Amino acid sequence: MSPRYILMARLSSVLIVDDLETSRSIMHEILMAEGYELLFAAGGAEALRMARDCAPDLILLDLMMPDIDGFTVCRTLRADVQMGQIPVIIVTALDDRESRLKGFQAGCDDFVSKPFDRLELRMRVRTIVRLNRYRLLVNEQQRFETLFTRSPNGLVMLDRDGNITLVNPEMVRLVAAPNAESLIGQQLPDLLNPGDRERCHEWIARLMTAEAPLSHLSASLISHDGLHRPVELDGSWFAWADAPAAQIVVRDISDRIKAHLLEEDRRQLAFDLHDEVAQTATAVYRQLEQFQYNFPLRRPAAKASLVRAIDLSRRLIRETRHLLAGLRPTALDDLGLVPALRLHATNLANEGLKIDLQENLGKQRLPSPVELTLFRIAQEALTNVRKHAGTMSAKIELTYQDARVRLAVEDQGRGLPEASTPTMIGHHLGLRNMQDRAALLGGQVQITSQPGKGTRVMVELPINEQMNGRADEQMNPEP
């Protein structure tokens, strides 16, 4: 249920603050039949604590209390961001003009002097509570509208029959509709690829079951201009005007699909390089060596040309192996993240960069998308160390704990200039690419650096049992 309806459902609460038990009892007797939730505090300090913890709809505040007087309590409330909007009625035996002015200066909303008319007090409490509830409702509505209109994902509200009752601007953009009104009253499945519509109808029917859990569906959205857009739908049940309804988050996963297709292209290219270019280069190298052994050349120029050809073929094999490791390390598929990182560290060590790898995964395998993302980020970070850090050593820390995996790549090199901005960092170090990869899996990347003290790149990704399945759904939605 949305916060707006929770607010409407709960009782209005009134906090009665007075150091005299008899006064609190009288207030209880006057207001108990009004249907309020009555809370009581015997002093100023207790009143401030309860106001912070309970957020009452109204405070009836006595002035003359032994620990903190009512004026101070009122000023403290008004100075607090969390409690500053709570209405306050001062109820006191003081009835002089100076006390009234001082109360209003402290921030009270009304001032009632004892003895008071019981009916009048009830009416004043009822009016202020009602006005405060209206203010809260307006604030909640404004917050809801702000979140709704500014959401980066499409948002759709459905009634119990599956008809669209509300859409946000992003959803209008996703389907290239002329305006939001043109979507109201339509069935959400009608906006999807025909092959997805029956599944979507069944999915919405399940959502309308009372208290149905959050549910997911991958489908293809058809825009008004005929373009197909892969999307992920997250839906949940809630009550709208005392009737079942559903709220749907429509997330464009085109970038995920593109990333997956790019990775598949890299995989295929790696296989082709291995089966064709690498094999041919190796064969040429062996043939040249065999020719050098079987047919010794006497002319210095010819001998030198043959040596150069052998050296070039050897370099071609080495560069091809580098390309294969960069495109798709077979160790990552066959053995897992840790062995792939160790192999990559060994290859970098041959180029003079010493890598200290510390990890607690051992032989444990992570979901394939997580392993690939972490490997690519580590690869990018280590390339930055080799090219920009001005150091010949780096450290990798890989830890798994509490369903989260963390990867840190750190060096003690020259670091970044003090004037570097996040935009500059992203441009020079490929941080944006790292952040995009992590964001696809719900993770984040942080980079810290100081001139002369090195740079640390840290990525954290969540792990869940459904990640492999969800990733496959997102990458390969049904036609």
* Pairwise CA distance, residues 106 & 370, whole Å: 56
Specify the pLDDT at position 112.
86
The Cβ of residue 119 has, within 10 Å, a number of other Cβ atoms equal to: 9
Alpha helices (H) along 177-253: 194-207
Which CATH code fits 3-146?
A: 3.40.50.2300
Specify the pLDDT at position 354.
92
What pTM, to 2 d.p., does this model score? Answer: 0.48
Helix (H) or strand (E) holding 234: strand 228-240
* Nearest C-alpha neighbor of 369 from the set 476, 238, 220, 289: 476
Tell me which architecture the domain covering 329-479 has in CATH: 2-Layer Sandwich (3.30)
* β-sheet with 88-92: strand ranges across: 37-41, 13-17, 58-61, 88-92, 110-113
List per-residue pLDDT tens for the chain, 479 residues long.
333 333 444 678 999 999 999 999 999 999 988 889 999 999 999 999 999 999 899 999 999 898 999 999 999 999 998 888 899 999 888 878 888 899 899 999 888 888 878 888 889 899 998 888 888 878 777 887 888 888 889 999 998 888 999 999 999 999 999 999 999 999 999 999 888 899 999 999 888 876 667 788 888 888 888 888 888 899 888 777 677 888 899 988 887 777 666 666 666 676 677 667 878 888 888 888 888 888 888 888 888 898 899 889 888 887 877 776 666 666 787 788 998 899 889 888 888 899 999 998 877 888 888 998 899 899 889 988 988 889 999 999 999 988 899 999 999 998 877 544 454 454 555 677 787 778 777 788 888 888 888 999 999 998 865 444 444 444 343 33
* Pairwise CA distance, residues 463 & 231, whole Å: 22
Tell me the backbone φ, ψ of residue 12, rounded to 5 degrees: -70, 140
Across 361-427, the runs of DSSP E, i.e. the strands, are 393-401, 404-411
Domains 3-146 and 329-479 belong to one CATH topology? no
What is the identity of the amino acid at 283? Answer: A
Specify the pLDDT at position 328.
63
The domain limits of the chain are 3-146, 151-252, 255-325, 329-479
* Nearest C-alpha neighbor of 87 from the set 5, 173, 160, 14: 14
Which CATH code fits 151-252?
A: 3.30.450.20
Specify the pLDDT at position 244.
81
Buried b (16+ CB within 10 A) or exposed e, 9-48: eeebbbbbbbbeeebbebbeebbeeeebebbbbbbbebbb
Specify the pLDDT at position 469.
44
User: Is residue 52 within 8 Å of residue 84, measured between CB atoms?
Assistant: no
